[in-house]
Amino acid sequence: MSLLPVDDALRAILSHVSPVSTETVPLADAVGRVLAAPIVARHDQPPFDASAMDGYAMRAEDVADGTWLELIGTSQAGAGFTGALGPGQAVRIFTGAPVPDGADTVIMQEEAVREGERVRFTAPARLGHSVRPRGNDFAVGQVLLAAGTRLTPMQIAVAAAANADRLAVARRPRVALVATGDELVLPGSSLGPDQIVASNSFGLGAMLAPYAEAIADHGIIADDAGLLHDRLAAALDAEPDVLITTGGASVGEHDLVQDVLTTLGVKLDFWRINMRPGKPLMFGTRGKTLVFGLPGNPVSAMVTALVFIKPALRAFLGHGEPAHWRLPLAAPTPLNTARRHFMRARLIHSETGPMAEPISQTDSGHTSSLAAAGLLIVQPEHDPGQAAGALVEALPIDAF
């Protein structure tokens, strides 16, 4: 049986992702969205030379020990001094206010002595000090945020400062989930004999929610060809951008998903990957819908979603692939098989910095070990095993 290399599978999936389509959202709704167009400054910031302190504006050359300057007015934020300042003169100024024409320096009030309408200074003037020059923060035409940026709160603040009230962002994909298996019941059920609690759709929904416009959970479908046909047809007819099934991906007589999907017009691209966990992954398309058939084993489902579906959704949004981490091992890894191993690992913080601590559990049905995992160490095919301290590649599980 030939298994498709992981990198070939990823390339095949990405080749089917549609180009980014754009929508406009109000700034207040834009956090977490991916920019579809850069944010370019349309004004200089600050828009004028502005004071960085509460104090006095003057010409630095006029400030000498004990010399009194004549106070000729006030400049405050929102209401600048309208005249021009001449030799021997000063203007009372507040933080953020425009520095008057003719002034070149601000001295803070703690270094000033004021008597009525005159002021002298107890510290020397440093030319240009406490003045934020026009355009110092950003200037007209400057690209502040590139297309493909996923907007953080810091970046929302920058977009607002740039006077952008509506942002062009990538349309998010609509994702549909289907769990298959006779044995499955929903969390909260009283478990009958031979029953298993369905966890995959909940984990996948939570993992993929940050990328998606909506996650439609179509629930559990029993291993029955007729039922699968009707329910998967309904899920596909809603034309989600991504349809994800879990279970029934393997070779048993009850593994019907692939046949049903094919009957429903899904063009199968590949089935079975040279990886563990997650070998029976299948992928195909119907129209614009990307169809992922994930293995039922809970660890396999979550790992294949992380390795293949997250990159597909990032591409859908026009978001670049984050660099993989390189971390030192906190403990040795064993010899690998011919399949690329995505090994559960803890992210630990040692005295020397972050490290990857392998979790020895490799059972793809072992969910409790997932709870401890912050990383997947990417162990190459046929890797002989690495000693503690060796640098390994790792995927951060919770990164976008």
Question: Which residues are at the interface with ligand MOO (CB under 6 A)?
Answer: 276-279, 295, 297, 300, 364
CB nearer to ligand MOO: pick between 149 and 297: 297
Q: Measured from the CB atom, is 109 or 250 closer to ligand LQZAQKY5?
A: 250
Considering the complex, what minimum distance in angstroms separates the CB of residue 298 from ligand LQZAQKY5?
A: 5
- Nearest-approach distance from CB 189 to ligand LQZAQKY5, in angstroms: 12
Q: No. of H helices and E strands in the chain?
A: 8, 26
What 3-state class would DSSP assign to 385? coil
- Residue 181 binds which entry of ligand MOO, ligand LQZAQKY5, none, with Cβ cut-offs from 5 to 8 Å by kind? ligand LQZAQKY5
> Which CB sits closer to ligand MOO, 251 or 387?
251
Instruction: Classify strands 105-108 and 55-58 as parallel, antiparallel or unpaired.
Output: antiparallel
Is beta strand 174-180 parallel, antiparallel or unpaired with respect to 242-246? parallel
Cβ–Cβ under 8 Å, residues 348 and 397: no
Q: What is the CA radius of gyration of the chain?
A: 31
* Three-class SS state of 369: helix
Measured from the CB atom, the residue of 179 and 378 that comes closer to ligand LQZAQKY5 is: 179
State the binding partner of 179 from ligand LQZAQKY5, ligand MOO, none, CB within 5 to 8 A by kind: ligand LQZAQKY5
Nearer to ligand MOO, 240 or 277 (CB): 277
CB within 8 A of 278, min separation 6: which ones? 294, 295, 300, 303, 304, 307, 342, 364
Contact 248, 257 (CB under 8 A): yes
Query: Which CB atom, from 221 or from 249, has the smaller least distance to ligand MOO?
Result: 249
Q: Please, which residues bridge with residue 119 across strands?
A: 69, 114
- Helix 310-317 vs helix 6-14: angle between axes, to the nearest 10 degrees? 30
Residue 190: DSSP 8-state: P
Phi, psi angle pair for 131, to nearest 5°: -115, 125
80 vs 247, which CB is nearer to ligand LQZAQKY5? 247
Residue 300 or 379 with smaller CB distance to ligand MOO: 300
Q: Which is nearer to ligand LQZAQKY5, 171 or 229 (CB)?
A: 229
Residue nearest to ligand LQZAQKY5 (CB): 296
Read off the DSSP letter of residue 95. T
Least separation in angstroms between residue 362's CB and ligand MOO is 8
Residue 90 or 281 having the CB closest to ligand MOO: 281
Which residue, among 226, 224, 213, has the nearest Cα to 247 in the 3D structure? 224
Helix (H, G, I), strand (E, B) or coil at 163: coil
Tell me how far, at minimum, the Cβ of 246 lies from ligand MOO, in Å.
11
Residues that bind ligand LQZAQKY5 (CB under 6 A): 179, 181, 183-184, 196, 198-200, 246-251, 255, 277, 279-280, 295-298, 300, 364-365
Q: How far is the CB of 272 from ligand LQZAQKY5 (least distance, A)?
A: 8
33 burial level (CB within 10 Å; 0-12, 13-18, 19+): buried
Angstrom distance (rounded) from CA 217 to CA 221: 11
Beta-strand relationship, 391-396 and 118-121:
unpaired
Query: Pseudo-torsion of CA 140, 146, 150, 151, nearest 10°?
Result: -10
Report what 106 binds from ligand MOO, ligand LQZAQKY5, none; CB cut-off 5-8 Å by kind: none
Report the candidate in 284, 286, 302 with the shortest Cα–Cα distance to residue 366.
302
> What's the CA gap between 6 and 306, in Å, rounded?
13
Q: Which amino acid is at 4?
A: L
